[in-house]
Amino acid sequence: MGLIVQKYGGTSVADLERIRHVAKRVARTYADGHDVVVILSAMSGVTDSLIEMAHNASPDPDKRELDVLLATGEQTTSALLAMMLCQDGYPAQSLLGHQAEVVTDRVYGNARILEIGAGRLRELLAKRKIVVVAGFQGVDIKGNITTLGRGGSDTSAVAIAAALEASVCEIYTDVEGIYTTDPNICSKARKIKQITYDEMLNLASLGAKVLQIRSVGFAKKYNVPVHVRSSFSEEEGTMVVHEDSGMEMLVVSAVTCNKDEARITLKKVPDQPGVAANIFTPISDAGIVVDMIIQNTRASGETDLTFTVPKAEYETALQIEKKVAETIGASCVFGDENIAKVSVVGVGMKNHSGVASIMFNTLARENINISMISTSEIRISCVIEEKYAELAVRVLHTAFGLDSDAG
């Protein structure tokens, strides 16, 4: 009979019918004897509508005021859920970000949580109240409303779970959990029972959009067990936990694929100090986020440099680099939008050699050429031609023994 924090995402509270379904689920948990804190997102689509409204009001909406506007989305769902619970005879009460004392820095639109002053939360829980907290929002020390960025409700939930030392933080979403790969690409994808924070961090940044990456970092830091599961079924989902000797240690836990990036190469860049800065400063000034960077050494004081950027920024980045190339004396700039990044992730990789060679050989057997490679301690990523993405995912999934029996 511990404290359970439950977070429901936008699709789980998309309309009154679904919120009613959430109310039943919360009530059941409470009736089982648990203390319950619920964190809600806005109804799916609402945040986007509010952003659109803001842009219709002002081409470049003031960031402080945008957060005031966006915060209404979670305020609405929280009040509605609390009403439904009260109607059914459960002692529910909503709290907004400032009432739950979710204190953040003042980076409007992408604020970081500094502290959860859990006094009021504890007081309500001590009275056996069900507390419904508006996710995604906080307050700076001056009392200004802030929001935590896309997917910020996950971070709200994990941070509140950490502050209250909850026994688990359940993240309810529209999928059954974390899969070994995208089931839409590979029919043999399997739901993962347990995954480590580090694996999840690598998956999240590679395009598995189930959990906001910052929430995973938070969960790791404060050791909050996270249970990712579906609000539409009773099935157990995926537990995200610390690495544990008792865990089933797969060498590779998952295969992911990201087709949202494009590649840009500068040829024959003079191999001198300061050149990389010349190349990336204007990109960063334009607000473009660079993902992979690879530099190959060539003979004779020249080098080739390749990096990837989001497809939406490809043309802008290409134009910027054409100017840069003239300045620094690179021979030419070219790029490719038709690429995909395929990655394998797994903590088991740390103690096993040979993962890279299995990956490269598997791709080679299908005549898939690798144009870029990057690695982290528990991840290997290859950039390949976009048209081979699905095939690569399927053959790697099989090669690393992830296929389900059912598939």
Query: Which residues contribute to the site for a copy of itself (CB under 8 A)?
Result: 16, 19-20, 53-54, 56-62, 64-66, 68-69, 71-72, 75-76, 78-80, 82-84, 86-87, 92-94, 96, 98-99, 120, 143, 145
Tally Cβ neighbours within 10 Å of residue 391: 17
Helix (H) or strand (E) holding 19: helix 16-31
Closest CB to a copy of itself among 121 and 226?
121
Q: Quick one: 56 or 351, whose CB is closer to a copy of itself?
A: 56
One-letter-per-residue 3-state SS of 146-183: EECCCCHHHHHHHHHHHHCCCCEEEEEECCCCCECCCC
Q: In whole angstroms, how close is the CB of 50 to a copy of itself at the nearest point?
A: 8
* Distance (Å, whole) CA 66 – CA 83: 27
- The CB-of-170 to a copy of itself minimum distance in angstroms stands at 23
Residues 6+ apart with CB under 8 A from 155: 113, 148, 212, 214, 215, 218
- The backbone region for 128, taken as left when phi is positive above 0, alpha when psi lies in -120 to 50, beta otherwise, is left
Residue with smaller CB distance to a copy of itself, 37 or 380: 37
Q: Which is nearer to a copy of itself, 96 or 382 (CB)?
A: 96
362: alpha, beta or left? (left if phi > 0; alpha if psi -120 to 50):
alpha
Question: Closest CB to a copy of itself among 59 and 273?
Answer: 59
Q: How far is the CB of 70 from a copy of itself (least distance, A)?
A: 9
Considering beta carbons, is residue 90 or 400 the nearer one to a copy of itself? 90
What six digits make up the tokens of 130?
A: 């069900």
Q: Shortest distance, CB of residue 61 to a copy of itself, whole angstroms?
A: 5
Minimum Å distance from CB 249 to a copy of itself? 47
User: In angstroms, what is the minimal distance from the CB of 13 to a copy of itself?
Assistant: 11
Distance CA 19, CA 207 (A): 28
* 98 vs 137: CA distance, rounded Å: 8
